[in-house]
Amino acid sequence: EPEALEILKAKKGGKFIVLKADDTFVPPDMEFRMCGGLGFMQKRNDKICDAKCLEKVVTKLTDLPEQAKLDMITGMIAIKYTQSNSVGYSKDGMMIGVGAGQQSRVDCVKLAGRKVSTWHLRFHPKVAGLKFKEGVKRQDRVNARVRYIEGDMDKAELEQWVKNFDAAPEPLTEEEKKTFLAGLDGVTIASDAFFPFRDSIDHASKLGVKYVTQPGGSVADQEVIGACDAYGMTMAFTDLRLFHH
């Protein structure tokens, strides 16, 4: 829109590449990739991720509130366009953590989970109440909050970090983090392919996950379903892999 273009012109000297899309363009059905002189061809993934993908609920709990469905759809759309293997957490209509490009699916779950923890801990009173010096830039404040949450700064980094404040803040203890994270609830996790073991569900349970969407199709499906039942999660099989390479 013209208004958005004017905003961009005023930022960073207007050095942006702006491309105007053709809303009538329809991509070809087949996609091609070249690798070492070999050509690969497959049908474009034109599947629409919607509520119809969530009809196959396989857990004891079957209730899917409208907000949960929206979060599951949001997660599926996000990981459809994320480098595989990929897993994403969503809540309240937004992505709160994405783990992509890993060889192990549980590593995706843990990588994205660290982002979820950081996201939630930004609302901790100690983090929200950090008193920065006047003139500290917005991005520097964001970075400082993240490092405060992570809390693993060595002496040299800590000395530089403290310069953002008039007085050094009290540390955010591990016990305080654990207690605050225990209040996280109603989170959704979506996976671009099946969970091969229950370990992903075990880890997701620590981050308030109550809803799971994945293609299904693993020899360990019953083990994963059992884990969801044990944690009081509702899981839907989509029968749709969303690999993106």
**Which residue did the predictor score with more confidence, 77 or 17?**
77
Q: What is the per-residue pLDDT for 119?
A: 98
Model confidence band, residue 236 (pLDDT cutoffs 50, 70, 90): very high
DSSP state of 168: P
pLDDT value at position 185?
97
* pLDDT exceeds cutoff 90 at 162: yes
What pLDDT score was predicted for residue 235? 98
Banded model confidence at residue 20, pLDDT cuts 50, 70, 90: confident
- List, in order, residues 6 or more apart from 57 with CB less than 8 Å away: 64, 234, 235, 236
Cβ(181)–Cβ(207) under 8 Å? yes
Q: CA 115, CA 113: separation in Å to the nearest integer?
A: 5
- What is the mean pLDDT of the segment spanning 99-116? 95
Q: Report pLDDT digits (tens) over 201-223.
A: 999 999 999 999 999 999 999 99
Comparing 84 with 10, the larger pLDDT belongs to 84
Q: Which residues pair with 43 in a beta bridge?
A: 30
Residue type at 24 in one-letter notation: T
What mean pLDDT value characterizes the chain? 94
**What is the C-alpha to C-alpha distance for residues 188 and 200, in angstroms, rounded to an integer?**
13
pLDDT-derived band at 61 (thresholds 50, 70, 90) equals very high
Given a cut of 90, whether residue 19 has pLDDT beyond it is: no
Write out the two tokens for 34.
């070249």
Residue 45 Cα distances to 32, 51, 168, angstroms: 12, 17, 52
